[in-house]
Amino acid sequence: MKAALIQMNSGSDKAANLAKAQALIEHAIAQDQPDWISLPEVFDFMGGSRDDKRNAAEFFPDGPAYRLMQSLAKKHSVFIHAGSILEKRVGEDRLANTSVAFNRAGEEVARYSKIHLFDITGPNGQSYRESASFMPGDAVVTYDCEGITIGCAICYDLRFPALFQALMDRGAQMIALPSAFTLHTGKDHWDVLCRARAIETETFFCAAAQTGTFYQGQEARHTYGHSLIADPWGVVIARMADGEGHVSAQIDLTRLTQVRAMIPVAQHKVKLG
């Protein structure tokens, strides 16, 4: 299977973001003919106020981002892991940060809402309070992609290895991590954490990222980019730097089998506590 990651610099114009996502997906298809494509976290809308986010969010399956990804998957006969989309839910004031995966027929095959919310103060003093606008998910999610089991996670989830062990226990062979990692945390932690999660789960790790600057009100904020695919040995087999575009690589289950035979981590796991 060939996987492709889309790297974007989304902003607070939803229509423009969706048009850009479509153009980048179709360019990746024309160039590389991938079987599976992932977008980054909140590809549909970044920045703005809490009210702006709510106004941009959508109910599934009726919203424009959901429908666009569904139609592109069907039109091009490709799996699309729709990064994450701002999702409204009936009776809820806060939003969900939700990945949706579609198969080649445009059918929804998975839905995952981000479990760990990004409430931190960065090394540059900027404060992030994702829980002010979002509610956490509570389900561990995998899906089948023509014989490959794909596990779902989003951005800040990367720092919580228990989730990835749970995905491993559910048979994940590849993990999708759409992200909008900050520049200041990304430059020190992105590569090492992505590679660590690949090594400890012995999976292919596919992390599509936001890149560049967006605005939270009048405040400029910066994302790290560097979308990457790591193999089960932790070797980065595809990587972007800055800027928008795509990167792709082959997902070879023979490599996964070799790594798991050399170091059979799953067989050596001990239940603690």
Q: What is the pLDDT of residues 25-56, one digit of tens each?
A: 999 999 999 999 999 999 999 999 999 999 99
The neighbour count for residue 69, using CB atoms within 10 Å, is: 28
Q: What is the arithmetic mean of pLDDT over 172-189?
A: 97
Q: What is the arithmetic mean of pLDDT over 134-142?
A: 97
The answer, yes or no, to whether residue 20 has pLDDT greater than 90, is: yes
pLDDT confidence bin for 119, thresholds 50/70/90: confident
Position 125 scores a pLDDT of 77
Position 122 scores a pLDDT of 76
pLDDT of 200-228, one tens digit each? 999 999 999 999 999 988 889 999 999 99
Active-site residue set: 41, 114, 155
Q: What is the arithmetic mean of pLDDT over 110-116?
A: 98
Q: What percent of the chain has pLDDT over 90?
A: 90
* Nearest-10 crossing angle of helices 14-32, 64-76: 10
Taking CA 102 as the corner, what is the angle to CA 156 and CA 181, rounded to the nearest 5 degrees? 20
Position 273 scores a pLDDT of 81
Domain boundaries of the chain, sorted by first residue: 2-268
The answer, yes or no, to whether residue 123 has pLDDT greater than 80, is: no
Nearest to 196 by CA among 249, 159, 163, 170: 159
CATH architecture designation of domain 2-268? 4-Layer Sandwich (3.60)
Amino acid at 10: S
* Nearest-10 crossing angle of helices 161-169, 183-201: 30
